[in-house]
Amino acid sequence: MKRIEFLVVLIVFFFLQAVLAGRMSIGSISPDFPLLIVVYFAVHKNSFQGAILGFVVGLLQDLFNPSFLGLNAFTKTLTGYGLGLAGSKTERDNWLFLLALFGVAAMAHDFVYLLIFTGLHPGKFFVMWVTVSIPSAVYTAVVGVVVHALVSYSATEVVRYLGKARS
C-alpha cells in the first residue's frame, strides 16, 4: 500500500510541475516540484533511497527534454544522495530549517546542472546562476515550506477525523 501511496504522490508532484509551475512562474523563474519531492524524501529516508528516487525523478524529467538526457537524473541523484546523508542530523519539521534546506538543495542542484548545461562556460554559467538559479531556488524553497505545511496540516486533520470516527 505504501508504494501505491508514494506513486500517487510522485504523480501529483509531476502534475503540479506540468500544470501549476508554468502558471506560478514569474518570468523565467518557477518552482521545481520534482526537486521538492526528492529533497523531502531523501531527508526522511536515507542516502541510498534518496539517490534512487533522485535518479527516477530526474530520468522522468529528462524524458521531456531528450537533448540533455541524463542531466536531471545525474543532478537529482547527487542531490538525493547528499541530502539522504544529512537527513538523520536535521530538524525535519522546523519551517525555517526546511526553507534553508530546500533553498540550498535547489542551488546545489542547479550549480551542478548549469556547469554541465553551459559546457563549463563561466560567463553563461554566472549569468544563468544569478538571473535564474538563485531566484528559482528562493521560490522553490518558499513553495516547499508551504507544501510541507499543507501536507502536515492535511495529515493532522485526517488523523483527527479517523480518531473521531473510531470513538
Segment 80-94 shows an average pLDDT of 77
Q: What percent of the chain has pLDDT over 90?
A: 34
- Which one is predicted more confidently, 75 or 89? 75
Instruction: List pLDDT tens digits, range 64-86.
Output: 878 888 999 999 999 999 988 87
Residue 112 pLDDT greater than 90, yes or no: yes
**Rounded Cα–Cα distance for residues 4 and 117 (Å):** 34
Segment 34-63 shows an average pLDDT of 88
**Rounded Cα–Cα distance for residues 68 and 27 (Å):** 23
User: Which pLDDT value is given to residue 1?
Assistant: 45
- Split at pLDDT 50, 70, 90, the class of 52 is very high
Are residues 46 and 55 in contact, defined by beta-carbon separation less than 8 angstroms?
A: no
**Rounded Cα–Cα distance for residues 144 and 128 (Å):** 22
Q: Output the CA–CA distances (angstroms, integers) from residue 4 to 14, 38, 73, 147, in the order listed.
A: 15, 17, 22, 20
- Predicted TM-score (pTM) of the model is 0.81
